Amino acid sequence: MTSSINYFFKQKNVILLMNWMIIFIIFLFHFSIKAQNFDLFQDLSLQSKNPSIVHFTQQDFDADAQFWSVTEDDKGVMYFGNNDGILIYNGSSWNKIKLPNSSSVRSLAKDSNGVIYAGGYNELGTISKNQFGEYTFKSLKDTLQLNNVSFENIWQISAINDNIIFRSFKKLFLLKNGTVTQIPSRNSFIESFQVNDRYFVQDANEGIYEVDLATNQIKKFLDASTINYETVVYITKNLELITNTGNVFRKQKESIQQIQSLFKDANDQVISAIAYKNQILLGTLSQGIIVLQKNENKFQVNNLENLNGQTVLNLFQTQKENVWALLDNGLEFLNYNSPRTNLFNLASVYDAQVFENNLFLATNKGVYYSSLNNNTINSNSFKKINSLQGQAWSFSIIKDELFINHDKGLYKISKNLKVDKIGNINGIWKTIPFNKSENAYLVCSYNGIYILQLINNNWKIRNKVEGFDESSRDILASKEPYTYWVCHGYKGVYKITFSENLDRTIAIDHYTDKNGLPSPFNVNVFNWEDEIVFSTNKGAFYFNEKNKKFEPFEKLNKIIDTKRNPRKILQSLNKTWVVQDDELGYFETNSNNPFIEKDIFLQTKGTFNRGMETIIPISENGVLIGTHTGLYLYNLNKKRKPENISTEITKVSFSTEQETSFLPIVNDSLINLPNNLTTLRFSFAAPNMPNSLNNSYSYQLIGIDNDWSNWQQLSFKEYNLLTPGEYTFKVKSKNVLGNEASPAIFRFYIQPKWYQTKLAYFIYFLLFIGLIYIIQRLVKRKINYENKKSILKEQRANKMLQLEIDQLKLQKDKAKIEKDKEHLEKDILQKSKELANYTMLLVNKKNFFSTLQEDLKELKTIVKSKQSNQKILEIFKKMHQNKIDEEYLAVFDSNFENVHHDFFKNLRKVVPNLTKKELRLSAFIKMGLSNKDIAPLLGISVRGVETARYRFRKKLNLDHDDKLIEFFESLTN
């Protein structure tokens, strides 16, 4: 089917050209809408004046939660008066020092010389930092001769030119050039004020007095009755007085008149106040911070949002024009220099759109809107459209009308904010123009795609596209007509082609990891540089139409991190925005050396709505970011500001096995360290860095490190077991905006141990020379030994060769012996056979004579004649002359011993005292003759042979006749 479609498209080249012209027109139309939005958003940075707020708790500063006072030194280090003493914060770490009497610190101030003053209960003095980076408090009671004076709490300290003024309820202490002037109160000095170079103090129920700092004289400025005996909290430069009840009075010449009341609720009160640029910030008892802005002759009142605490005891503006709010329970840092401004924090934001001069937000709680005509854009300025409760996904502007793609369906908002639902389908992700028609739109839903059309001036969902029922949240038009790419979060990528009347799909190609994708999961599709790009878990890919496979898109992969998933890729103006594993960044698209800027967006890391990341560029340097914590405006103009900023090394300590010691922090000096140190620790900070929270640091120890370390937020570095020598430690800092401070340097020298000194090395050199000499001698000796060894080896080889020759001769002789032995064995075997034949001949002859003799005896009894008997006797006589006698047995003995020469020899060793008859019996048994054969040879009966064998066994201690035969066999072996 796909091939037929391709053929169909090839036949319509003219139609294709027209299609692309239509797409180009739609693109220009879309761009014009975006350009209008950019213009509408230009004022957001002016309308949104909410600072970025960071809250500090007891877990951060490790002290009591209540704060009273604050000041800042020339380097940007902050000093806070706390119930536990003085807390010092350098932007990275906290330090704490106590007053001698451990009282609360109610007041702090810095004079023109940079000296920090502190006051507590019956205590006042200065704070200084020694060469080791440790802060100390020095009491001035002795110097000012106040040891016996009970002045209770010092509530305020003011530094005006050369004058330092300490206020307690009972007295004012004016310190100038080491001299103290005391001014007592009539009732109680409850507040004091510094207006330009003038100093005012309020005496309860008396009024406000001005102190002439030249003469140390006090005169009444106004009477308490003129302000209704209220407590004044702040006096402006125009001499407007703000009281704790929220009433504003203005002094004009000799008259005082109330011009405004700030509180609708009379139960609240003002506790503290400061001037901030063209505004006044008021710290209240229960409303947090109130912002006053002068509007003609009155103040416009607004509440500052997002404070964690509502009771603000004090306020302080820093050198970098940020504000610290001292709460009854913690601290708030109001960062007005932050590039990030919170516009909305009531819900999770999925999309934003400007329509009819309103800013609309699609959130998980519904649709909110705020008029762009408001002076201030914040969460309080947004209103909720009650008929659009629930999850709203995105907006679409179609023919100058605003459409909301909602979980409950597709809605249209008219100019008067009237809401109409279109169709009856639910679960709409987005609505996009169809690239072949100006009057057809694709409604992408949870379970497929529907067609939206304007019919008779009414919007209607005409039909569902049959044949495709998958979720269509991530959809992008292909370069082929009627064709779209759809990415499914779990199933891979679909390429679908619609019929011309948009009633069904005529082709669906499904691609997974079998088609070149690293995985079917987490694939998204985007347009970048006129290319269709797919983001995966292993970087960007494109679809190769020739082989129908996905391949890495190297042009983009060279810029992004291919180990992470670029879930969002958005090209706008000259920038490309990328979200990689929930971390936002951007790079200049046409840069020759593009790199991703991401430090400025670190606060958004981990807060994006995955798969629905909201990034809306509104200008070259402005972008709206929607997260699950709200909507933020980023001003990229605040990204980099070159300033003379330096990194500070705050403490250097080293540890041995016994103790830990601190080192003096000096510039351009070489510090000597002992040789028994185990750990060297550097602490550092950049207190004068703008937006100093979340600073990053990079360090290098010259002599160990070849390059700077990676940036990290730890504000210390430890080195263990450094070898003796000279080192230079360097550390630099960088804030979230990318501003980099100049490095701090610390040079030190670790002294060598006694065995590492020059004398020791000289001795080592001498020992080395001696060792070389000894080695040379040993080598020479070794060579001689090896030579001797070689000679011996050669001699041994010759000897072995001779032995081998002798062995060959022996083997030859042995072969000859074996041959002779074989010949002898054959001879013995022959003789054994002859001996056996001879023995059997003797046995037969003996038996014959015995038989013949018996026959003659029988014949003699029969024959009666004397002559016959005489003849028989002669025959007997001849037979006795020829019988087997000792001579024949001697021949047998001789032949047996020749054949079995070892038998008798071994037998005599075992049984030495054998008789000749027993030896012959042994020989006959050895030859295997039976008792019947042996009896005639020995001239005894068979019974006698058995008796002889029995006796012979007894001599040998053998209990059986078979063992006697085994014994004879063993003698032969």
Q: Which of 117, 77, 116 is nearest to 650 (CA)?
A: 77
The pLDDT score that the predictor gives to residue 694 is: 76
The pLDDT score that the predictor gives to residue 175 is: 94
The reply to whether 361 falls in a domain is no
pLDDT in tens, 884-940: 555 666 767 667 766 676 777 777 777 877 787 777 777 777 777 788 777 777 778
Q: Is the pTM of this model over 0.75?
A: no
The reply to whether 371 falls in a domain is no
Are 120 and 189 members of one domain? Answer: yes
The reply to whether 701 falls in a domain is yes
Question: Domain containing 951 — which CATH number?
Answer: 3.40.50.2300
Token pair of 418 as six digits: 């009237």
The reply to whether 372 falls in a domain is no
Helix (H) or strand (E) holding 163: strand 163-168
Of the CA atoms within 13 Å of residue 926, those in its CB half-sphere come to 25
Strand residues in 565-704 grouped as ranges (E): 566-572, 575-580, 583-588, 614-617, 622-627, 630-635, 648-655, 660-662, 670-673, 679-685, 696-702
Residues in the chain: 973
Are 841 and 953 members of one domain? Answer: no
Token pair of 847 as six digits: 């038996």
Are 791 and 874 members of one domain? Answer: yes
The reply to whether 515 falls in a domain is no
Whole-number Å distance between alpha carbons of 122 and 253: 39
Are 879 and 854 members of one domain? Answer: yes
Q: Which of 134, 129, 128, 109 is nearest to 119 (CA)?
A: 109
∠ CA 214-217-219, rounded to 5°: 120
The pLDDT score that the predictor gives to residue 23 is: 38
Are 91 and 222 members of one domain? Answer: yes
For residues 699 and 730, is the Cβ–Cβ distance under 8 A?
A: yes
The reply to whether 910 falls in a domain is yes
Q: How many CB atoms lie within 10 A of CB 783?
A: 10
The pLDDT score that the predictor gives to residue 919 is: 77
The reply to whether 463 falls in a domain is no
The pLDDT score that the predictor gives to residue 44 is: 67
Whole-number Å distance between alpha carbons of 282 and 284: 6
Helices of type H across 398-496:
none
Q: Which of 969, 968, 903, 917 is nearest to 945 (CA)?
A: 917
Question: Domain containing 153 — which CATH number?
Answer: 2.130.10.10
The pLDDT score that the predictor gives to residue 183 is: 94
Task: Show which of 229, 258, 275 is a domain's final residue.
Answer: 229
Whole-number Å distance between alpha carbons of 406 and 425: 10
Across the chain, what does the average pLDDT equal?
86
CB-based contacts of 373: which residues, under 8 Å, 6+ apart? 357
In DSSP notation, 70-97 reads: EEE-TTS-EEEEETTEEEEE-SS-EEEE
Which parts of the chain have pLDDT scores under 70?
1-49, 266, 375, 436, 639-643, 691-693, 824-826, 828-844, 846-847, 864, 879-889, 891, 893-894, 897-899, 901, 972-973
The reply to whether 411 falls in a domain is no
For residues 237 and 231, is the Cβ–Cβ distance under 8 A?
A: no
Are 902 and 870 members of one domain? Answer: no
The pLDDT score that the predictor gives to residue 840 is: 66
Token pair of 280 as six digits: 């006044």
Task: Show which of 884, 904, 932 is a domain's final residue.
Answer: 884
Please give the distance of CA 397 from its chain centroid, rounded to a whole number: 44
The pLDDT score that the predictor gives to residue 16 is: 39
CB-based contacts of 629: which residues, under 8 Å, 6+ apart? 345, 348, 607
For residues 285 and 268, is the Cβ–Cβ distance under 8 A?
A: yes
For residues 628 and 348, is the Cβ–Cβ distance under 8 A?
A: yes
For residues 896 and 923, is the Cβ–Cβ distance under 8 A?
A: yes
The CA-atom distances, in angstroms, between 100 and each of 121, 156, 183, 488 are 10, 19, 25, 68
How do beta strands 85-89 and 78-82 pair?
antiparallel
Token pair of 706 as six digits: 């070849």
Beta bridge partners of 352: 361
Are 767 and 910 members of one domain? Answer: no
pLDDT in tens, 398-441: 988 999 999 999 999 987 889 999 999 999 999 999 976 778 99
Beta bridge partners of 453: 440, 460
Are 91 and 206 members of one domain? Answer: yes
Q: Which of 451, 496, 454, 458 is nearest to 477 (CA)?
A: 496
Domain housing 143: 65-229
Are 255 and 194 members of one domain? Answer: no
Are 875 and 963 members of one domain? Answer: no
Question: Domain containing 705 — which CATH number?
Answer: 2.60.40.10
DSSP 401: E
Token pair of 627 as six digits: 């997260």
Token pair of 329 as six digits: 């329970």
The pLDDT score that the predictor gives to residue 35 is: 39
The pLDDT score that the predictor gives to residue 11 is: 38
Torsion angle in degrees (nearest 10) through CA of 953, 954, 958, 962: 30
Structural domains of the chain, count: 5
Task: Show which of 199, 229, 259 is a domain's final residue.
Answer: 229
Are 110 and 225 members of one domain? Answer: yes
Amino acid present at 852: L
pLDDT in tens, 509-544: 999 999 999 999 999 999 999 999 999 999 999 999
Are 86 and 223 members of one domain? Answer: yes
pLDDT in tens, 26-35: 333 333 334 3
Whole-number Å distance between alpha carbons of 452 and 441: 5
The pair phi, psi for residue 682, each rounded to 5°, is -115, 130
